């Protein structure tokens, strides 16, 4: 959702509603995921739930209820289908961000070059496919480390970029302050630094635990 905030903001007539829309979207997403997790935990309460909880639905395929089998099969295969569908979107999104970072004002012209566009997209898509052949028996460890990366992505990097952007607004653009009408106490550098620091510590703890203390 965060990757496409700019698309939502571009087509929004009243930009003041942006915060309410994002809050509502994030809130509904949180409620949905909590509900799914609660239902799964309640239903399989007496079973030992593996890390990949969707595997439990394989047992439901033996049920006599015809309508339940398609749902169980969908849940069982959903992670694979989700990875297949999202992989291309992530590659396109990442390629666009790399091109924007390299070409800046020439982005529109660069996007019209089909060879250049395909080169960036393939550059973002091929390395993960190549690396997947060398994972071998370390897939569980890769999953654990990949999950830990969500911490710096959500806490460290955004806070750091916010601090740097505020400094650049003052130093390079000559503004007295980087505060906008949307700024509040959460936009203060001290708060952002605290969030980034907490995220860095949490990431380090999770990474060490995943690499050295988890039994795979």
Compute mean pLDDT per 10 residues along the chain, 216 residues long, and list them: 63 73 85 85 68 66 68 79 83 88 85 90 89 74 77 92 91 86 86 95 88 70
Pair 6, 83 in one domain: no
Decide which of 136, 155, 183 is a domain's last residue: 136
Pair 129, 155 in one domain: no
Report how many domains make up the chain: 3
Confidence at residue 195, expressed as pLDDT on a 0 to 100 scale: 95
Cβ pair 187, 179 in contact under 8 A: yes
This prediction's pTM: 0.56
Pair 24, 81 in one domain: no
Pair 130, 158 in one domain: no
Residue that is written with structure tokens 């993960």 in the block: 128
What token pair was written down for 177?
A: 């302050």
Domain enclosing residue 85, as ranges: 51-136
What token pair was written down for 136?
A: 């071998």
Cβ pair 162, 187 in contact under 8 A: yes
């Amino acid at each position: 959702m965060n990757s496409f905030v700019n698309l939502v903001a571009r087509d929004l007539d009243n930009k003041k509603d942006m915060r309410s829309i994002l809050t509502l979207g994030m809130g509904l997403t949180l409620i949905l995921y909590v509900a799914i997790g609660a239902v799964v935990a309640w239903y399989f309460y007496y079973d030992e739930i593996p890390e990949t909880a969707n595997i439990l639905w394989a047992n439901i395929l033996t049920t006599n209820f015809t309508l339940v089998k398609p749902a169980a099969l969908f849940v069982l295969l959903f992670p694979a289908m989700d990875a297949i569908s999202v992989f291309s979107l992530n590659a396109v999104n990442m390629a666009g961000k790399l091109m924007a970072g390299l070409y800046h004002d020439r982005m529109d012209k660069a996007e019209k070059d089909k060879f250049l566009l395909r080169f960036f997209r393939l550059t973002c898509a091929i390395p993960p496919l190549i690396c997947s052949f060398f994972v071998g028996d370390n897939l569980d460890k890769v999953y654990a480390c990949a999950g830990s990366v969500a911490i710096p992505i959500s806490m460290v990097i955004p806070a750091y970029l916010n601090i740097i952007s505020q400094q650049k607004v003052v130093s390079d653009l000559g503004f007295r302050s980087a505060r906008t009408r949307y700024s509040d106490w959460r936009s203060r550098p001290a708060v952002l630094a605290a969030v980034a620091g907490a995220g860095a510590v949490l990431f380090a703890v999770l990474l060490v635990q995943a690499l050295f203390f988890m039994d795979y």
